[in-house]
Amino acid sequence: MDIIRPTLLLDKDVCLQNIATMAQKAKDKGLIFRPHFKTHQSAVIGDWFRAYGVTAITVSSVSMAQYFAQNGWDDITIAFPVNILEIEAINALAKDVKLNLLIENLESVQMLTKKITQNVGVFIEIDTGHNRTGIASNKYYGINAMLKVLHANERFDFKGFLSHTGHTYQAQSKQDIYNRHFDALLKMKALKNYYNKDFPNLILSLGDTPSACLCENFNGIDEIRPGNFVFFDLMQYKLGACDFEDIALRLVCPVISRHGSRSEVIIYGGAAHISKDSIINLDGKSLYGQVVVNKNGHKILLDERNYLYKLSQEHGVIRTTIQGFHNFEVGDLVEIIPAHSCLTANLMGEYLTTDGEWIPMMSKDFHRSSAQKPRNA
């Protein structure tokens, strides 16, 4: 198969190995493995998880829950604070599958309890330091207020506490990741101890890929929900969460133009393909991707002095060293290893595996067709 346009290449073997490794780790630690499917957003890739015993999944939107429910998944946690405006879709979904919702503020639970018509599981989201969503673990007053509303409605099955330790992404070292994870773990365990008498079966669920990969201490935790590990990316590599060889995604792009006077190479592949998410390079500038060239039939990973450093909608600009520049010819294909694979995958909308198979993702059309309130739900 000849690639002629920006194409997202997926190394299936690497991807399967990543899934196998994480599934095995969860098994070894006695953890429920409920992978987050927001990274790949693909029913086909989702099915690859079944061989590793996965039966329960995490998603980040009601649309995504609908998509995976239609593709055979029947135990789904929506790990995004409940959006009460989607209540009809939530009720419709909960009719068909075991659905877990996330709450983190009293207003939502109060609105939810008035409108829920089906049985749902409910997690309370704990903010263990990421400071995005969730209630702080020591705000017992607020947690109790939510539990009281849950308790008063038999539709609700309180499942436990869930946290996304997303501040591991800002860590400066592996030790930093261990510390943040351990701090989160202690906060969660304190909750379990506190509520254990009333809820002996409550689940503690933790989420991020860096700590799921790097940490060994999951003492007291019941469930993990990593997502990015399925592909990994430069950010995970920088954090030490994976080896370079574990990165399963590459955006293949045609070389369009070379400008020797400023050591720049222009590729067809821009913000509309790779996304404007970046990491910081050695020179303090934004790095959108590293570059692999094909030289005499051999793939060569160029060092970080040759990197994707500027994006327009369709153009990507690779800054090179003087030597690095000679690796590029107009009409070549180069491979870009993305800074953040989730957003690149979300933009590309499909994968081409190294075996030549096209793998679709949840399409924007899916989102669209359900973007209005169902008329007769």
Selected binder of a copy of itself within 108, 137, 281, 290 (CB under 8 A):
108
Closest approach, Cβ 103 to a copy of itself, in A, equals 10
371 is an interface residue for a copy of itself by CB under 8 A: yes
Burial class (CB in 10 A: 0-12, 13-18, 19+), 263: middle
Q: Are 37 and 58 in contact (CB under 8 A)?
A: yes
**Residues in contact with a copy of itself, total (CB under 8 A)?**
67
- Contact status, residue 240 vs residue 181, Cβ threshold 8 Å: no
Residues numbered 5 to 64 that lie near a copy of itself (CB under 8 A) are 5, 7, 38, 60-63
- Nearer to a copy of itself by Cβ, of 158 and 288: the residue is 288
Residues 136, 151: Cα–Cα separation, whole Å: 21
Residues with Cβ < 8 Å from 114, sequence gap 6 or more? Answer: none
C-alpha 305/C-alpha 309 separation (Å) is 10
CB of 133 to a copy of itself, least distance (A): 5
By the rule CB under 8 A, 105 interacts with a copy of itself: yes
Binding mask 251-280 for a copy of itself (x = CB under 8 A): ---x-xxxx--x---x-x--xx--xxx---
Q: Which stretch binds a copy of itself (CB under 8 A): 68-76, 184-192, 205-213, 325-333?
A: 325-333
Is 145 a binder of a copy of itself (CB under 8 A)? no
Which residues, other chains included, contact 289 with Cβ-Cβ below 8 Å and sequence gap of 6+?
234, 251, 274, 307, 308, 316, 336, 337, 338, 339
Give the sign of the dihedral formed by CA 226, CA 228, CA 230, CA 234: negative
> Residue 5: which residues within 8 A CB-CB, separation 6 or more?
254, 268
Binding site for a copy of itself (CB under 8 A): 1-5, 7, 38, 60-63, 80-86, 89, 104-105, 107-108, 111, 131-133, 166, 254, 256-259, 262, 266, 268, 271-272, 275-277, 310, 312-315, 317, 329-331, 333, 342-343, 346-350, 358, 363-365, 367-368, 371-373
